[in-house]
Structure 1
Amino acid sequence: MAEQCKISAAIVVEEKSCVLKVDGYSRTKALIKNGEWMTSPPFSVGGHDWAVEYCPNGFATNCADSISLYLLLQSAGAEDVKAKFTLSVLDKNGEPVPSYSHASPMRTFSKGSPWSYPVLIKKADLEASVHLRDDCLTIKCDVTVIHDKETRVPPSDLHWHLGDLLKNKDAADLIFQVNGQTFSAHRAELLGAMKESSTATPIEICDMEPDVFNSLLHYIYTDSVPPMLDVVMAGHLLVAADRYNIVRLKQICEEKLCNHIDSNMVATNLALAEQHGFCHLKEACLQFLASPSNLEAMIASEGYEHLKSSCPSVLKEPIARILPAELKAAKDIIMAMWR
């Protein structure tokens, strides 16, 4: 399904127009259920990455008769980004249709609330109109990012100082033992982030590799991850962040895995998503497996046996998704097999 999403964009100063083209509107509507979505490739406006979330059957049960559209701020750690946007259905000439255009007022996006309020389009009205041509829906998103030009306060460099504190071990009052390696840290810095920090030292951390724990400590002190974070470490850090409920680190790692899915890693990532409840990662894996060739490659991968043994029920979803819409009875049988 993701391959049906095509983006073209042009940037002017701090404004950008992104065009989302959904080829195969009917097939997409049949395959993606209520509460599920597809995400456009990211586009940059005002120094931040954005994307459009498209829910062909609504994001919640009370809007299942509508298409739900969201503007999503994807930049990790972005704070107080002021932006306004307009979402419009385009006519045959590529012009916005006034009755299917929604302009959002200026609002502030941040890491705690990256999504906009939903824009709803009644499916029955749209399907009865002339704007759904050749089973193709074209939506334009105009985004304007506003910068506060009066702000002259330099960016904080506290993370550099805290990073040096961790590196030099000055006034460290905690000792961690991780698989035979020792790490020094500060009780005040970890209070609240790690429940073990309130206990006596040395503290033994189980079920975690030393390099993962080192990266976790680095993030807690500096609010940053290595610039070249690889997908293997991102997976381990995602589990560690979930263990200690470090929300932003979970978002960063989950986004990294969602953007680097291939046939070798998809089985491992799907098992990870299912076991820990990472819904965005699970949906990205399922969208990748909507291609029969990708599904076959996943079955031949090393991670498939682990997925089959640890989360067998999750395999029903990619199988059901690749069946044609007219084989609804077969889909129902497959879904019932794992209940």
Structure 2
Amino acid sequence: MSSDRFPHDTFLRILAEGMTTTKSTETASRSTATVEKGTHVFEIVGYSLEKGFSAGHLVRSGTFTVGGFDWALSFYPDGGDEASGSSPWIILELVSNGAEARAQCGVGLLKQPSGLLGCGWRMRHPRTFNSSDSSRFAPFRLKSEAELKASGFLVGDCLKMKCTLMVVKGSQLSEIKEDSEIEVPPSDITKHFGTLLEDKVGADVTFSVGGETVTAHKIVLAARSPVFKAELYGPMSETRTSCVTIQDMQPAVFRAMLHFVYTDSLPRMDDLKGGDCSEMIRHLLVASCRYALDRLKMICQNILAKNLDAETVVTTLALADQHDCERLKKVCIEFITSPNEMDAVLATQGYASLKRTCPSVLVEVLEKTSRLRRS
């Protein structure tokens, strides 16, 4: 064995073990064949006058160009030669001098008078046409004259045919660039935390709320609320019992607040009617202030601001004033002082209560009204 040749397995071992790869590159390219398509309709009027000649008599179409090459159709009413019989033939021919083309073609007969394609014949694959030899021809044998008449192709002594030609123009080489953008699905962490709350796996704290028991995870609550963090991990946490009692909060409100803590979204409230839903949002606003859940507080304010009416606006205004919701408070005052709503609001029981319980807010309403009157 010569010294410059290795057995196959030795060569592979050298590649795998004896060489250090410093850089690896991968490239790709694509070769795309381009095709030019063209059609030509050939109409023979006075079909019977072309019949009765010897085999080989032809009627020739005009020359048409597809793919940069000249082509023509030849129709043989009595057959192409004695051996082929008397059935008509259509032959496509490459007529460009000294040319070679790769093409796929088909011919069909057109029904009259609709002009729809009734039957056809086609080459299954592209092939090479060379104008210097017999490969320049592509023959197609038609039906007999009786069949042509019966099928509606030969009407009024006229026959129409259509040639469809696809010429392969060559290949275009292009570099394939891999898309560096990898689609990343949206975050589903809140879904997993919601499942954690529902399944109660690893829950390590129990709350007693309105006589009902609710379990949760201390680490999640502490991460989301500084109040929970102080209660569950602060200096006084060791003196607490394993069950934490929540005063002045309904169980449904506490559960809804926990749902937000775990999923950063409000739970579905499809089972609550309009008034009950608004009441739930008000209670959640109070709970958000109690546990310093600032985003929940803003969400509740936004919902209440978009659902004001004459009956509830005063209650919402008092709540906004009590919990320092300045933006919500401003929206409520704007609503009350609007000309279309003021009379209805002043007639409510809530407004009468507001005068007794929140006189400072009433002053703001009156000041706003006075400014509007002067403007």
Structure of higher CA gyration radius: 2
Normalised to the residue count of structure 1, the TM-score between the two structures is: 0.49
Normalised to the residue count of structure 2, the TM-score between the two structures is: 0.45
